[in-house]
A and B are shown apart, each in its own frame.
Chain A
Amino acid sequence: MIPAKANQHLYLAKNSGRKLRMKKGLIGWSFIAIATILICLFYFYPMIQALIMSFHSGNGLNQTFVGLDNYVRLVKDPVFLTTLKNTVIYLIIQVPIMIILAMFLSVLLNNKKLRLKGVYRTAIFLPCVTSLVAYSVIFKYLFGQDGIINLFLSKLSLISEPIPWLTDPFLAKIAIIIAITWRWTGYNMIFFLSALQNVDESIYEAARMDGASSVQQFFRITVPMLKPIILFTSITSTIGTLQLFDEVMNITKGGPANATMTISQYIYNLSFKYTPDFGYAATVSYSIVILIIFFSFIQFRVAGDKHE
């Protein structure tokens, strides 16, 4: 009798415990539900849609299944190859320059004896406040044929005639790289600065005792310590640069003759500017996804290898 009753008791307790857990689980899900549904609806579902679309072709709503035709067209498309080349050039030139500059400035700012630290920090961070469109328009005018940069250079007698910043294919890329670097260096610098503030000063003192120069200190102590931040800023900057759109659209419109056009802008043009070809645009858009995965993987590998 007694064991049976105890059993029943146990069963009841167990049952109510499970019910309670079930109930708690359900409440937990109700907290998460909206976000999960919306992310599936506005990120994952469109990605699947884009994949399906990339196997179709046609104008507007008349879509026919064409198999891998779009992908064959992609690897032969000279405009796509140009935009791919441009995007990769922006990436491999701009991102390293900006990361090194941000790290360098943060080390200078972290100097204990430095005065006016707050003023310098705010000034260098200030460009992040501007919207991408606003600063792009400003830079378009700064770099214009009769813009203020050419005006300065000619007043200083450094040039005899205006530099065609935005109409020369090579210089236009340089102008865009300068603009992006201006906008994002301060932003990345803040991450380095906060990391540096957590570094124990005694390590540097010990290094100085051992006779390490400040250059040696930088490469032997600072850079290894900042490795996680270097990885983080490189990956976020890479993802950002691979999606570059606002700047190019507003500074050069992709010109001269597609010399500055990015993949994102090509997708935009294919879908909304030329005769809409959504299927092919979706195919092009998958190239960015693949590039992001590829470059993030490389960066993780590079950072990971050094760690071993």
Chain B
Amino acid sequence: MNNWKHMLNYVVLTIAAIISVFPFIWMIVSATNKSVDVTAGRLLPGNQFVQNFHHLLERAELGTALINSAKISVITTVLALLIASLAGYGFEIFKSKFKDIVFNILLLSMMIPFAALMVPLFKMFGTITQTVPAFGIDTHTAVILPTITTAFLIFFFRQSTKMFPKEILEAGRMDGLTEFGIFFRIYIPTMKTSYAAAAIITFTSSWNSYLWPLVILQTPENQTIPLLISNLGSSYAPDYGMIMTAIVIATLPAALIFFIMQKHFVAGMMGSVK
């Protein structure tokens, strides 16, 4: 009886694992096959990857999109981490009643859906375009600015700061460090793990973000990877091999970061619940 149950356990988990992994395998295999073979249902790896890659380069501005996405994601991550950790640290270390009220109001912004923000934000950047075109519509600045501050990250860093040993603060003050000196010289190096977790979350969500870039970016030279894939995916006579090659390349950075830092990723997710 017990043995039978144990077997069932394995069977269910194996089915779940196969369903989870199958689309990946199909994606990778299809990237190495001709479009005709993909539609014929071929599930064995082929030798067409280089060919598909060439088609992709001819068809789309892959390099530009990769550079754009990388640039946007890196800048977003650096700024988001700096701003959110400063605030999370500030709310926890310099606690006061009034600051707690402000903190709770900021948390409310987590309930605001992006769909409700996109129209007024688009109008706002439309107005900015008229005076400072470098910050307006169809610029990467406009993609980055609204996304660098999230209440979630501030909350995350405040929770992490609770575990930061306060004696070190006093020691730093004794040594004559300024408050910002303590933050940059002591806090940041001590909290490396929290920063790593926050960086993974922010980088992947920025790398994958679709709706806001779709709204604000217009010219092909500025487009990001998700926009490029979405365009390729909506073509009428799709070259499956080529599109799957693009998706593999787009998924690679996030997947690599995930596998290298799997532990931090999970720790970061859990940190947000505590």
Contacts and interface: CB of A to CB of B under 8 A. Distances in A.
Contacts of B238: 141
Contact of B27 (A138, A155, A249): A138
Interface in B1-52: 5-6, 9-10, 12-14, 16-17, 19-21, 23-24, 26-27, 39, 41
B83 A38 contact: yes
Contact of B149 (A39, A142, A182, A267): A39
B120 interface: yes
Interface stretch (B55-63, B191-199, B265-273): B265-273
- Provide the main secondary structure of the chain B interface: helix
A170 interface: no
Interface band, chain A: 35 or more
B53 interface: no
B250 A28 contact: no
A35 B251 contact: no
Given A42-B117, A42-B149, A138 B229 contact: no
Contact of A239 (B17, B111, B124): B111
A131 B83 contact: no
A31 B9 contact: no
Nearest to B23: A138
Given A132-B208, A191-B273, A35 B87 contact: yes
- The interface centre, meaning the residue of B5, B6, B13, B148 with most chain A CB atoms within 10 A of its CB, is B13
A221 to B, nearest CB: 18
A299 interface: no
Contacts of A187: 269
Interface stretch (A3-11, A156-164, A277-285): A277-285
Nearest to A251: B233
A210 B89 CA distance: 49
Contact of A32 (B102, B113, B210, B247): B102
A292 B113 contact: yes
A27 B181 CA distance: 12
Contacts of B135: none
A141 B29 CA distance: 14
B133 interface: no
Interface in B239-268: 240, 243-244, 247, 250-251, 254-255, 258, 262, 266
A272 B215 contact: yes
A81 interface: no
Contacts of B116: 46-47, 50, 267, 282, 285-286, 288-289
A285 B250 contact: no
Nearest to A131: B208
Contacts of B96: 25, 28
Given A31-B87, A31-B89, A137-B229, A46 B117 contact: yes
Interface string B110-144: 01111111111111100000000000000000000
B86 to A, nearest CB: 5
B65 interface: no
Interface string A239-255: 10011011001100100
A42 B145 contact: yes
B122 A31 contact: no
A79 interface: no
Interface in A116-142: 119-120, 122-142
A196 interface: no
B190 interface: no
B104 interface: no
Given A43-B117, A135-B23, A282-B119, 11 more contacts: A28-B90, A30-B90, A34-B86, A35-B87, A43-B112, A134-B247, A187-B269, A253-B234, A267-B118, A268-B115, A286-B116
11 contacts: A28-B99, A29-B90, A34-B87, A44-B109, A46-B120, A114-B9, A133-B233, A138-B27, A242-B113, A246-B210, A278-B119
Interface of A: 24-25, 27-32, 34-36, 38-39, 42-47, 49-50, 53, 105, 108-109, 111, 113-114, 119-120, 122-142, 146, 148, 151-152, 155, 182, 186-187, 190-191, 194, 214, 229, 232, 239, 242-243, 245-246, 249-250, 253, 263-264, 267-268, 271-272, 278, 281-282, 285-286, 288-289, 292-293, 296
In the A-B complex, the 4 residue pairs with the smallest Cβ-Cβ separation, listed nearest first, are A28-B94, A31-B90, A131-B208, A35-B87
